[in-house]
Amino acid sequence: MVINGERLISHLKDVREFTDTPGNGVTRFSYSENDSKVREYILDKARSAGCSIETDAVGNIRLGLKNNTDSQKIIVCGSHIDTVRNGGWLDGIYGSLSSLEVMLTLSENSYSGRYGFETVIFAEEEGSNFGSTMTGSKFITGIYGDEDLDRLKDDSGRTLREYLSIDSLPDDIIWDFDRYRAMFELHIEQGPVLDRENIPIGIINAVFGMRTVEITVTGVGNHAGATPMSERFDALSAAALCILSAEKIVSEDPDRRTVATAGKMSISPNCSNVIPESVTFTLEIRDSDIHKIDSYMEKVLDEIRNICADRKCTVSIREHSKGAPVILNEDIRKRMIKTAQKKNLTYKVMDSGAVHDAAMIAPHIDTGMIFVPSIEGRSHVPFEDTKTEDLVTGAQFLLDVITGEME
């Protein structure tokens, strides 16, 4: 059975246009107008293929293959459709539309195998609205509950409950995991490994864990012109030293695997002629070993406290979120390796520095992840791209795993 690669690429190119920042990458936050347009685009294709459609209270979508039977266990594939700000045209949507393409191909071939098939579209994976990654899958797995509808707020203070305008979270938002045989997420690598080594398929061993803290450094605001350098308590200068110290400490990791990023910052009062009074920034540390994440985070936070004390600034630290690394299912990994060998595909078993919804599902359903190369290893930027043949190879490989080694 062969997917329709041209159709997949044309779907990806159609959906790329649903962005708030045309000409500057794809910006498509969950619950936005463009998010709704992509949803409608996908649901329209699903309807024409006679698929069942179910959208849950937080916006996760499940599409069921027309001839799924109640007695079959299900193989579910999918990813997300939301993006970061000025992101790329493939992150998330590639796995979602590839799963749709697999489903259309199975339907056109009147496939009826051992297992049924579903496509899942996870809501709010990037956390662009509320700063919490994998939000949709955290509701599906019960990590998040009704109270989180009020806890999760966007920068304007609007809560997720207000976005969804729901009174209470229905109990059936948590999946009946016994229904499922396996879950697969196909995704672009978003890093340099496969592209650099010219390998078309990545088979994922572990998805990195990640701990994020929010740090507020407070100094003394003052006049930028009249305040002598020797009398300043500049919050931004102190914060800059803090961020550089995080980079230095983590860059010394002997395995050269741990990563630290300060990606979001607000400055108060943020005027060119005022010495910054306070600065709030996020700091996230990721690794495949939770103990390394914690030991580096504690080391960095100690150093940040020292820097602020030296500069007579105060510092407050708020734990924002934490997710442990997840080793994906070994049996599923072996089945994917066997499929790659049978298809004479070069592959590489590797870890994922990016987090993914598959990591949330993995404790409940045997889960596998497949990567395709990212050109120059870049992602979360307008440059994000993958060769057409690699996009098609990845989706075909997903179909071959499902209809081959999984049978």
Interaction site with ligand HGY (CB under 6 A): 125-126, 133, 354-355
367 binds, among Mn ion, ligand HGY, none (CB under 5 to 8 A by kind): none
Q: How far is the CB of 88 from Mn ion (least distance, A)?
A: 8
- Rounded distance between C-alpha atoms, residue 257 and residue 259, angstroms: 6
- Rounded distance between C-alpha atoms, residue 201 and residue 193, angstroms: 11
Q: How far is the CB of 87 from ligand HGY (least distance, A)?
A: 9
Q: How far is the CB of 325 from ligand HGY (least distance, A)?
A: 12
355 binds, among Mn ion, ligand HGY, none (CB under 5 to 8 A by kind): ligand HGY
CB-nearer residue toward ligand HGY: 355 or 391: 355
Q: How far is the CB of 84 from ligand HGY (least distance, A)?
A: 7
Q: Which of 350, 359, 300, 296 has the alpha carbon at shortest distance from 325?
A: 359
Q: How far is the CB of 205 from Mn ion (least distance, A)?
A: 18
Exposed/middle/buried for residue 188 (C-beta within 10 Å: 0-12, 13-18, 19+) = buried
CB-nearer residue toward ligand HGY: 152 or 355: 355
Using CB under 5 A, which residues numbered 78 to 107 contact Mn ion? 91-92
- Rounded distance between C-alpha atoms, residue 166 and residue 38, angstroms: 22
CB-nearer residue toward ligand HGY: 105 or 133: 133
Give the interface size with Mn ion as a residue count (CB under 5 A).
Answer: 2
CB-nearer residue toward ligand HGY: 213 or 275: 213
- Rounded distance between C-alpha atoms, residue 8 and residue 393, angstroms: 11
95 binds, among ligand HGY, Mn ion, none (CB under 5 to 8 A by kind): none
Per the CB < 8 A criterion, the answer to whether 117 and 105 are in contact is: no
328 binds, among Mn ion, ligand HGY, none (CB under 5 to 8 A by kind): none
Checking phi first, is residue 28 left (phi over 0); if not, alpha (psi -120 to 50) or beta?
Answer: beta
Q: How far is the CB of 97 from ligand HGY (least distance, A)?
A: 17
- Rounded distance between C-alpha atoms, residue 179 and residue 74, angstroms: 6
Q: How far is the CB of 260 from Mn ion (least distance, A)?
A: 18
Q: How far is the CB of 385 from ligand HGY (least distance, A)?
A: 16
The DSSP letter of residue 179 is G
- Rounded distance between C-alpha atoms, residue 96 and residue 123, angstroms: 11
- Rounded distance between C-alpha atoms, residue 164 and residue 60, angstroms: 12
Q: Which residues of 75-108 are buried (b: 16+ CB within 10 A; e: fewer)?
A: bbbbbbbbbbeebbbbbbbbbbbbbbbbbbbbbe
Name 372's bridge partners.
Answer: 188
Exposed/middle/buried for residue 344 (C-beta within 10 Å: 0-12, 13-18, 19+) = exposed
- Rounded distance between C-alpha atoms, residue 13 and residue 391, angstroms: 12
Q: How far is the CB of 190 from Mn ion (least distance, A)?
A: 7
CB-nearer residue toward ligand HGY: 116 or 394: 394
- Rounded distance between C-alpha atoms, residue 295 and residue 16, angstroms: 40
284 binds, among ligand HGY, Mn ion, none (CB under 5 to 8 A by kind): none
CB-nearer residue toward Mn ion: 91 or 195: 91
Binding mask 34-73 for Mn ion (x = CB under 5 A): ----------------------------------------
Q: Whose CB is nearest to ligand HGY?
A: 354
133 binds, among Mn ion, ligand HGY, none (CB under 5 to 8 A by kind): ligand HGY
Q: Which of 249, 261, 257, 253 has the alpha carbon at shortest distance from 215?
A: 261
The structure tokens listed for 382 are 């307008």
Name 314's bridge partners.
Answer: 218
CB-nearer residue toward ligand HGY: 87 or 221: 87
Q: Which of 116, 97, 105, 107 has the alpha carbon at shortest distance from 39?
A: 97
CB-nearer residue toward Mn ion: 352 or 393: 352
CB-nearer residue toward ligand HGY: 195 or 357: 357
Per the CB < 8 A criterion, the answer to whether 283 and 215 are in contact is: yes
Q: How far is the CB of 60 from ligand HGY (least distance, A)?
A: 16
**What's the CA dihedral at 284, 288, 289, 293 to 10 degrees?**
-10
393 binds, among Mn ion, ligand HGY, none (CB under 5 to 8 A by kind): none
Q: Whose CB is nearest to Mn ion?
A: 92
CB-nearer residue toward ligand HGY: 125 or 195: 125
Question: Could you list the residues that contact Mn ion (CB under 5 A)?
Answer: 91-92
